[in-house]
């Protein structure tokens, strides 16, 4: 494997492959997808960039029966274990894994270490690249790129995307040294910022969102267009549209259910 080998890491595209994602993946020698792909066409498009290694998510139904629920793949001296939902991991699945890739929560997460009770030298990187598909309310749109050197050292870069188009920021968040047996993952200087949401005022939740959601639903039931509801409530068009879509796609959901899905 050549030095500077790049691997694109993404998850939860939910049927949407953004142009900015394909741009960020250019130059990658492989792409890892953590599940909730939703359409075969997404994988086909990604395959035009680089070989794709994917696992099946809970929203990947009949069309994805050929996609495994777990996958172990190695690049040079680095072994990846992939699964959609981290809670479904069995301890034996992680034997020999240097990096665990997962998704499901739509939130970027990165931590170094092993499961409680595990022995052995070195450490393991747990990496959820977040979601780079349709934006879920105020959550950021994220993915990651990893560079692996011939000696097994690695560097992870978090990429934040804007829903308006373009890359908001790129920052190194973790690295792997091969100075100890099995490799040692350490947090980068930006690790504390890795859980921050991208700065994007268009989707900030106002303090009175709990009062505005019922109003949005009431106006939607009256047949008002999204643009008119957004103007009346003072919410952004995108946030208003997502509240309406959430109500429509979850029959019987009440206000508390909608707020929970919005992370409130």
Q: pLDDT, tens digit, for every residue of 173-224?
A: 889 887 544 678 887 644 444 444 444 444 467 788 889 999 999 999 898 9
Quickly state the pLDDT bin for 262 (edges 50, 70, 90): low
Structure confidence at residue 251 (pLDDT) = 74
Please report the pLDDT score of residue 119 as a whole number: 57
What fold, for 5-196? Purple Acid Phosphatase; chain A, domain 2 (3.60.21)
Domain layout of the chain by residue ranges: 5-196, 205-261
Whether 27 has a pLDDT exceeding 80, the answer reads yes
Question: Average of pLDDT values for 42-56?
Answer: 97
Contacts of 136 (CB under 8 A, 6+ apart): 106, 242
**pTM (2 decimals)?**
0.73
The answer to whether residue 82 scores a pLDDT higher than 90 is yes
Q: Per-residue pLDDT tens for 107-136? A: 999 988 876 556 555 688 999 999 999 887
Residue predicted with more confidence, 14 or 257: 14
**What's the pLDDT band for 12 if we cut at 50, 70, 90?**
very high
Q: What DSSP string describes the chain?
A: --TTEEEEEE---TT---HHHHHHHTT-SEEEE-S----HHHHHHHHTTS-EEE---TT--GGGTTS-SEEEEEETTEEEEEES-GGG--GGGGTT-SEEE--SS-S-EEEE---TT--SSS--EEEE----SS--TT--EEEEEEEE-TTS-EEEEEEEE-TTSSEEEEEEEEEEE-SSTT-EEEE-TTGGGTTSPP--GGGPPPTTHHHHHHHHHHHHHTT--HHHHHHHHT--HHHHHHHHHHHHHSTT--HHHHHHHTT-
User: Over the stretch 138-170, which tens digit does the pLDDT of each residue have?
Assistant: 678 999 999 999 888 999 999 999 887 888 889
Q: Give domain 205-261's CATH architecture.
A: Orthogonal Bundle (1.10)
């Amino acid at each position: 494997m050549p030095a500077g080998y790049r691997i694109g890491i993404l998850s939860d595209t939910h049927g949407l492959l953004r142009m900015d994602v394909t741009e960020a993946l250019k130059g990658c020698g492989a792409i890892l997808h953590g599940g909730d792909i939703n359409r075969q066409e997404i994988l086909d498009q990604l395959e035009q960039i680089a070989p794709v290694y994917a696992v099946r998510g809970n929203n990947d139904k009949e069309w994805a029966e050929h996609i495994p629920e777990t996958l172990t793949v190695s690049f040079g001296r680095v072994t990846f274990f992939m699964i959609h939902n981290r809670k479904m991991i069995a301890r034996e699945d992680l034997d020999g894994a240097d990096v665990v890739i997962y998704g499901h929560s739509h939130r970027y997460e990165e931590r170094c270490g092993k499961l409680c009770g595990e022995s052995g030298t070195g450490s393991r990187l747990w990496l959820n690249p977040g979601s780079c598909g349709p934006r879920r309310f105020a959550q950021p749109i994220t993915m990651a790129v990893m560079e692996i050197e011939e000696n097994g050292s690695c560097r992870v870069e978090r990429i934040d995307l804007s829903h308006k188009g373009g890359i908001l920021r790129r920052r190194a968040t973790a690295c792997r040294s091969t100075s100890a047996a099995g490799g040692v993952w350490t947090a980068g200087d930006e690790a504390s910022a890795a859980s921050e949401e991208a700065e994007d005022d268009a989707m900030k939740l106002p303090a009175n969102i709990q009062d505005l959601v019922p109003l949005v639903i009431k106006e939607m039931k009256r047949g008002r267009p999204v643009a008119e509801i957004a103007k009346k409530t003072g919410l952004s068009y995108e946030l208003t549209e997502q509240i309406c879509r959430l109500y429509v796609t979850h029959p019987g959901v009440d206000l508390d259910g909608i707020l929970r899905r919005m992370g409130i």
